[in-house]
Amino acid sequence: MPRGALYSSIMNALTPTPSPPMIDPFGRRISYLRVSVTDRCDFRCVYCMAEDMTFLPKAEVLTLEELDRLCSAFVGLGVKKLRLTGGEPLVRKGIMQLIRNLSRHLQTGALDELTLTTNGSQLGKYARELADCGVKRINVSVDSLDPEKFTRITRWGKLEPVLDGIAAAKAAGIRVKLNTVALKGVNDDEFYRLVEWCGENGHDITFIEVMPMGDIGGENRVDQFFPISLLRSHLAKRWTLKDSSHYSGGPARYVTVEETGQRVGFITPLTHNFCEACNRVRLTCTGTLYMCLGQDDAADLRAPLRQSESDELLLAAIREAIRRKPKGHDFIIDRDHQGPAVERHMSVTGG
């Protein structure tokens, strides 16, 4: 068989047959899947994890082949955007093979975007290969540009390799957006500087409010909480912020900074302003599907995945789960609610 024909026949075999799209009970079309490919991480950010974490035994975690099969089933059900996250996605062994395999859905046009959220520690090593796999944009989490403070926040992280990784991604033609969690008394003196640095380097940035997810050891989320409304008015004293029509399909609301031309996004998960347009579901590395970041209801997809080589049971389980997608979340942080609103850490569902 000629090489071209062989390639197309392999592609066809690996491409899911399209079926009717997933529509939830509130009429929202599910087109975005976020997959936490590992719960492990080389950092221990103070708002995300306790320092002494117990991770899942390896046997419970889906293999790379199983992750591929699950993601591909979702692509067949109309998912157009796939985000790999974690834990830290780039510390999972063999991750580049998974990304390379998934990129076949970009080539067939079944998928519009394959992207990642990463802490950037391994980005220097993988940036070129990611670009080669068709990754065009990534989110990199940076909460401080001060090396000492960066290490204080991440406990185990170092700023320099992360900044080098961001530069490598940019050089490889990947657009980088920073994710910054706003932390009272920790990085609230750096908001101007972060926006300025992004302007100088051609990056957008999104500021995120702390969400009450998982036990984080001795840390207190009421103490960490910095309201995004205050952050926005704070930035407006220094920068000219113009409302932007940019809409990522997600919870962020954007402005353009007139002086730099870059976008600044704000995510306020404690408000409900994004639930009605929510188009996403989240898959953990054990194959549990969460239909809402802020609710505990979940569906096990690992059992139907492992029960049969055909995808019939799996597809039925996914459709059944989508029928249970709730209207919105119930996050709340105040002095009367100091425990986590949901027990799992953000690293389980990847944010």
Interface with ligand SAM in residues 42-101 (CB under 6 A): 47-48, 85-86, 88
Interface with ligand SF4 in residues 5-44 (CB under 6 A): 41, 43-44
Binding flag, residue 213, ligand SAM (CB under 6 A) = yes
Give the single-character DSSP code of 187. Answer: T
Which residue is associated with the tokens 């994004």? 274
**44 binding partner (options ligand SF4, ligand SAM, none; Cβ < 5 to 8 Å by kind):** ligand SF4
Residue 73 vs 211, nearer CB to ligand SAM: 211
Residue 88 vs 209, nearer CB to ligand SF4: 88
Which residue is associated with the tokens 């007139």? 258
Alpha-carbon dihedral sign for residues 345, 281, 173, 178: negative
Q: Give the H/E segment covering residue 92.
A: none
Q: Give the H/E segment covering residue 82.
A: strand 81-85
**What is the full DSSP assignment across 272-313?**
STTGGG--EEEE-TTSEEES-TT---EEE-HHHHHH-SSSHH
Give the single-character DSSP code of 24. Answer: -
Q: Which of 15, 117, 260, 295 binds ligand SAM (CB under 6 A)?
A: 117
- Closest approach of ligand SF4 to the CB of residue 164, in Å: 16
Binding flag, residue 53, ligand SF4 (CB under 6 A) = no
- Closest approach of ligand SAM to the CB of residue 179, in Å: 4
Please tell me the distance from the alpha carbon of residue 267 to that of residue 56, in angstroms, as a whole number.
29
- Closest approach of ligand SF4 to the CB of residue 153, in Å: 8
- Closest approach of ligand SAM to the CB of residue 292, in Å: 15
Binding flag, residue 294, ligand SAM (CB under 6 A) = no
Q: Which of 76, 87, 134, 294 binds ligand SF4 (CB under 6 A)?
A: 87
In order of 163, 171, 202, 239, the CA distances from 262 in angstroms are 18, 18, 7, 11
Cβ pair 202, 170 in contact under 8 A: yes
User: Which residues contact ligand SAM by CB under 6 A?
Assistant: 41, 47-48, 85-86, 88, 117-119, 141, 179, 181, 208, 210-211, 213, 346-347, 350-351
User: Which residues contact ligand SF4 by CB under 6 A?
Assistant: 41, 43-45, 48-49, 86-88, 119, 141, 154, 347
